[in-house]
A and B are shown apart, each in its own frame.
Chain A
Amino acid sequence: MEILIGGILLGGTYALLAMGLQLQYGVARIMNLANGEVLVAGSFGAFWFFTAAQVNPVLAIIILAPAAYVLNWLIYRFLLQPLVKRSKTQGHLEVDSILSTFGISFIFIGLLHTIFGGEYFNYEYLEIPYEVFGEAYGINRIIAFIGAVVIAAGLFLWLSKTRSGLKLRAVSVDPASARLVGIDVDKASAMAFSLGGAVTAAGGALISMFDTFDASIGVVFTMKALIIVILGGVKEIKGTIVAAFVLGLAETAVATLIDPGLTLAAAFLLFILVLLFRPQGLFGREAS
């Protein structure tokens, strides 16, 4: 029981990390290495709202997420769209986007460093124990988990039930054919990228409630998000969400039953197994 609840809570955290990257990589086809920095920017935003204006981190998302949307739209429009336009193949775009977003990540680190300095940041918000089946968990973690569920459900429903979501999925499956049926691929990609940024920043705000962060910690988040997205199958948000929870449960089980030192090993073992036996990811379709 302890493993189940701990694992689900950790899975929620991982889902927050990875859903944004899935939208950016799966739909907009940008392998965004600055994803972790956007997340940390969201954390800093929440920190600033909480310490300077006493606004709680959940409310701060109402401002942070749209701000991140606009910022990411600008990044996409001016820094990434030229790459999309000139690249002839998906592989070409991937290499270009990795290089340019790697550069963008340094700009983010530099900006955060200049504004906030390089110290460790955290704040105390609802770090109160709450008992579930006789075991204590921080309320802030539970709130972050609920946030993850709300965002995941919202994205899933939107993508599968609405017309605009359908467009995004069409672009994700095949941008060239999507164009043929009258979908504005540029617009849909820009939207997916910006939405991914907004989700990531919201995740950062939620994670900041219980995590200690600093200006240059983003790469840690990017790496984890990458593993989860690839684990789940690049094209499916559902795969990313399931993969996040599988990873959370696996890590907690190993930490509780065997040794906390082996959680990383467990994560990578899972990763290797999936790559060996289902290279398209848990939910991915065979590459055409």
Chain B
Amino acid sequence: MLNSKFKKSLALVAAISTVAIFGSDLRAETIKIGTSAPKTGPLAGGAVVTHWPNVKLWAHDVNSRGGLKLKNGVRAKVKIIEYDDRTNPGEAIKNFNRLATQDKVDFMLAPYGTGFNLATAPIFNKLGYPQLTVSAITDKIPALTKRYPGIFFMLGSTSTFTSAVVNILKDMRSKGKIGNRVAMVNVADAFGIELANAARPIFKKAGFEIVYDKSYPLGAKDLSPVIKGAKASKPDAFIAWSYPPDTFGLTAQAKINKLNVKAFYTAVATCFPAYKGKFKGAAEGILGAGGIDPDTAEMKAYFKRHKEVTGKDADFWASAVTYASFQILEQAIEGVGSKDRKAVTAYIKDHEFKTVIGPVKYDNQNSARFWTVGQWQGNKFYGVSSEGRPGAKPIIDKPDW
């Protein structure tokens, strides 16, 4: 008797728990988000600062507030599925294909790096996923957005990027701080070559004389001949379209060789916390690609949360923009209220979004408000030149090494 009663209650408990589990499964949906970016290979050093911590932070932020709000009050937590593309475009394409067809993810985050975003654009397009690119700087934005209805850009084009640097030098020249002589070097890689080619005519048109114009191979172990050559040309300004390892190498050599110029610019990674960590006080006044306004309330909170959740410092440029691109996706999904990718893409096209970097509105799939040049002033890398973003700081002269 007791035994059968026990059995009955056991069955009841089992039934209830089944219903409970099944029921809760119905109510709590998940949205699967796929991401592929380098964790190893030459671009890994950039992606682990700019891309990966923000994926973690965003998933943490969304899930800790209960998930995304969908139609009928359903809450959906996000589940991240991530792959390493080993800094290999072929691998990246394979990863996105796998994410879409095998893992059946609902949305995919754009990869890291200009080349990778361009290489994977056809596959995003073919599979019908929106692609909110961040680290993609190119002059082909109009052609690409025309060809791919789901691609979005928000970090600017090659020519605005180079013009911004030239404008800063023009401004310094008109104030009598520098003369006409510019030493320009670039890394012999798609990015560096494209920027150097774009910069040459702009410098000439602005009346600058390029007194030293050389490239060096990616991964060069000894950059002292480059800096010695630049110094021998007696420049007023030094501009390097550089990648992370050589950004560090060129700065170190410039310091050793006492290449003293009022305007010293190195491109990618100048805004990284590790740059300040290495050069400390010597970084003061150095110009670099990007920048942000780190003093807004949103950005201060973002930096603090980034450190707390990921244990790492955010960089002073694309980190926040990467997070903003995830926020746009998040708000678009909530705005539509479902996983309908077509509707979400359409929603992104004609709405304005509130993000950590300020409001973002795409115009023909391109957001025309972005930072172009920043400068180390004290412990922060401040945006000193922007397109359509307020809060640019006045430029200071770079003190001698």
Contacts and interface: CB of A to CB of B under 8 A. Distances in A.
Interface of A: 2, 6, 9-10, 13-14, 109, 113, 117-124, 127-129, 135-138, 210-217, 220, 224, 251-252, 255-256, 259-261, 263-264
Nearest to A135: B228
Contacts of B253: 138
A113 B220 CA distance: 23
Given A113-B39, A215-B40, A13 B228 contact: no
Interface in B258-280: 258, 269, 272, 274, 278-280
B41 A260 contact: no
B224 A137 contact: yes
A122 B45 contact: no
A203 to B, nearest CB: 12
A14 B269 CA distance: 26
A216 B44 contact: yes
B245 A129 contact: no
A120 B258 contact: no
Contact of A109 (B40, B185, B249): B40
Interface stretch (B135-143, B209-217, B291-299, B361-369): B209-217
Contacts of B278: 122-124
A220 B215 contact: no
Given A118-B45, A119-B49, A264-B217, A216 B252 contact: no
B111 to A, nearest CB: 15
A129 B257 contact: yes
B255 A10 contact: no
B188 interface: yes
B277 to A, nearest CB: 8
Given A212-B249, A220-B219, 7 more contacts: A6-B225, A13-B221, A129-B257, A135-B228, A252-B225, A255-B222, A261-B216
A256 B256 contact: no
Contacts of B225: 6, 252, 255-256, 260
6 contacts: A119-B49, A121-B274, A122-B278, A123-B278, A128-B256, A260-B229
B220 A263 contact: yes
B167 to A, nearest CB: 27
A122 B248 CA distance: 9
A136 B188 contact: no
Contacts of B215: 259-261
Contacts of A220: 219
Given A127-B255, A252-B222, A260-B220, A120 B45 contact: yes
A210 B246 CA distance: 12
Interface string B208-247: 0000001111011111111011000000000000001100
Interface of B: 38-42, 44-45, 47-49, 52, 185, 188, 214-217, 219-226, 228-229, 244-245, 248-249, 252-253, 255-258, 269, 272, 274, 278-280, 312
A213 B216 CA distance: 18
A80 B46 CA distance: 35
Contacts of B229: 255-256, 260
A263 B245 CA distance: 17
B245 A120 contact: yes
A135 B258 CA distance: 11
A260 B226 contact: yes
Contact of B216 (A122, A137, A260): A260
Contacts of B252: 127, 138, 210
Contacts of A109: 40
A261 B45 contact: no
A2 B270 CA distance: 29
B222 A129 contact: no
A213 B226 CA distance: 20
B280 A6 contact: no
Nearest to A112: B40
A247 to B, nearest CB: 11
Nearest to B221: A13
Given A119-B45, A129-B256, A256-B228, A13 B40 contact: no
Interface centre among A213, A214, A255, A260 (most CB of B within 10 A): A260
Q: State the 9 A-B residue pairs at the shortest beta-carbon distance, nearest first.
A: A255-B225, A118-B48, A261-B215, A120-B45, A216-B40, A260-B216, A212-B248, A214-B45, A118-B44
A224 B280 CA distance: 32
A256 B227 CA distance: 10
Nearest to A110: B40
Contact of A118 (B40, B188, B280): B40
Given A120-B274, A137-B256, A215 B44 contact: yes
B244 A120 contact: yes
A6 B188 CA distance: 21
A10 B229 CA distance: 17
B244 A259 contact: no
A216 to B, nearest CB: 4
A124 B280 contact: yes
A144 B258 CA distance: 21
Nearest to B222: A10
A119 B256 CA distance: 24
Given A252-B225, A260-B225, A261-B216, A122 B257 contact: no
Given A259-B214, A259-B215, A136 B257 contact: yes
Contacts of A217: 42, 219, 245
B40 A113 contact: yes
Contacts of B222: 6, 9-10, 13, 251-252, 255
A179 to B, nearest CB: 40
